[in-house]
Structure 1
Amino acid sequence: MLVAAGIVLSANHASAAPNYEFGTHERIIDIGYGVFATPMSVLGEVMRRDRILQQQAESAGLEFRWHPYEKGVDSLKDIVAGKLDASMPTDVVAISAVAQTDVMLVGYVRQSFATVVGPKSWRMVDLRGKRIGNAAGTSGHNALLHGLDSAGLTESDVTLVQMNVSDMPSALLAGRIDAFSAFEPTPSSVLRQHPIRFGALHKQISPAYFILQRSLSIRNPEGARLLVASLHRAVRWLGRGRDNLTHASQWTLTAMREFSGREPTISEGEIIRFTRQDLLEIAGAPRIPANESESGSALSRNFEFFKKSGMLPAQLSWAKIQSSIDRNIAGQVLKDSRRYRLDEFDYRP
């Protein structure tokens, strides 16, 4: 990973992202999400169709704008620049954002794995000197770093081939790379389609968060609460039956096609499965777990790994990461669930 000023991932090193028009008025709230990363993509597509949120926004004189990205790391420069008021990044990008600007982690939107995929008979040590498909700064990159470390290797022992996650399966099948490391659903899709040829060489826990600019909660606290309410409403709606999950997965597939101009490699059934196991089956989600700020959480373990590897500035403390975790906004919304209409649903294309 390229390191700039000691930061785990500099916003200037995030890969190319769409050039969106962001709101310049304080009443406009911009939200980003990774269109190929489930279940964040599902949440993005459901929330942008939330008619209750739209009605509440109109009453409050607000406007919410939604911006899909290839992957969460692409949104980092816009988060750091203050252009995005909210986003749904993995812990890698979330830690980078906390290190570079003042954001809050207010929701828990995924607990999944990023996976290093390679030939079935290989182990991580067999990657020495090999070409590995990689998207810098993503949870896949994090998994690769952990896996290499566990095998006594470093990035200098392999050849990283930078590419979009959506291009990794075809590159692997064509022999342009020997392995790749990526976030779900890409690894599972490849392993399902080619179970004899490829296997999982290493897996790394990959949580993701709903983050807000702290400035949003100060200048427009009601807007922040409405957005968090929409997140909780979306999760409740998704958990109320397969029909809702089916509609959401179809919206997500459409968004993937429109963004890339290609047919997605993931199926409707896989999106439903990942949304269930990585979000809906997590107790208490999407509220941040009470122990997330404690030593031993996935977030703290990754923070310590980055510190040990010299990829975070020496002055960055765990206390700063802890202070970014906010359960109060969600608590306010849940306490006044009738006002925020958490059990009413109106989603339309």
Structure 2
Amino acid sequence: MAATGQFRPSPTAYRPPVADTTVAGHRRGGGLRRGALRSVRVQLLAPILVAMAGLAVLGSVQTLTAAAEAADAQRARTLATTAVGTVRLVHEVERELAETTALRQRGGEAGRQLVTAQRQRTDAMVTAYRAAANRARTAVPALETTIRTADAALDGLEGARAAALEPDAETTSTSDQLYHNLSTALLAVADELPARVVDPQLANQARVVAALSAVEHYDALERALVRAILARKSLQPGELGALATLVGQRNERMAEFDRVADTTERALFSTIVQGRDVETANHLREALLASERDPSGLTADPDAWYTAQSNLIRRINLASLRLSDRLERDATRVETSALWRAWGTAIGTVCLAGAALAAAALL
């Protein structure tokens, strides 16, 4: 102690330690620095963000795929509906020609109301077909040429009707050819549609319907030709060959039906297309084809043939209608299923992304 009385601490006296500020816990306030906290959060969020990015990419791909499948299904339904409308129009055109021919044979007056009623049914199917064909050409532009050809043939329908009841045989023959050309053009549309359908099951069903429509068409041509032959009890040059050609074309389309149709479709056809009329029509046709060796085939009753063949055509058309209805139902089911998958995938992707964002926000 100095003489002045002031106290001076000894150099060796105790001094409190000074905090080391390089240690996080020794700084005022303690804890981690803000930069360190940010670094930890980034480390926690990084895997989540990467997972979210991957989820977004995967979800987008799945959603786009589902949307493409839905678009394909919608296109398939459009084409299936067009196929059904086409074959039904072919049937009505064939019926109109048959009624017109029958009216000519009755003298042109008796039963005219039957032709008028049938023309109205044909016109209704023309309207339905044109609407479906317009949707089909929009969905598949590659169909434009085939549909345009059918449209041109349809434009000649009124001319065929006007000439159908003329007394001049050459004029009526021209009218009949216009009807045949129309059926041929429509069948070309029905035959091309299945190749544009992506779904293989629907494509095969459309092929089945088109094949039966062609069979019905050839049966109608046979009906007219054989009736004319039996009515005069004689063959003109080339008629037997023409009949053999029609039979061959019919058998070719039946073979296509047997090849493409599934077990259910073949069973349905066999159940409907059977009976005495079917057997009678087949017997009379075979007898006429053999008439060069056995002329008795020319002596059959033309009305009996016409009735039997008409009932055969009716049965084939009934089978075609059943299969057409099945095609429309299946096309609707495929479209609905694809749309649900597309919406489900999109909603699921959004929900997962939202859950990931919520988890990230909590960190």
- With normalisation by structure 2, the TM-score equals 0.24
Q: Which has the higher strand share?
A: 1
Q: Which has the higher helix share?
A: 2
- With normalisation by structure 1, the TM-score equals 0.25
Considering only CA atoms, is the larger Rg found in Structure 1 or Structure 2? 2
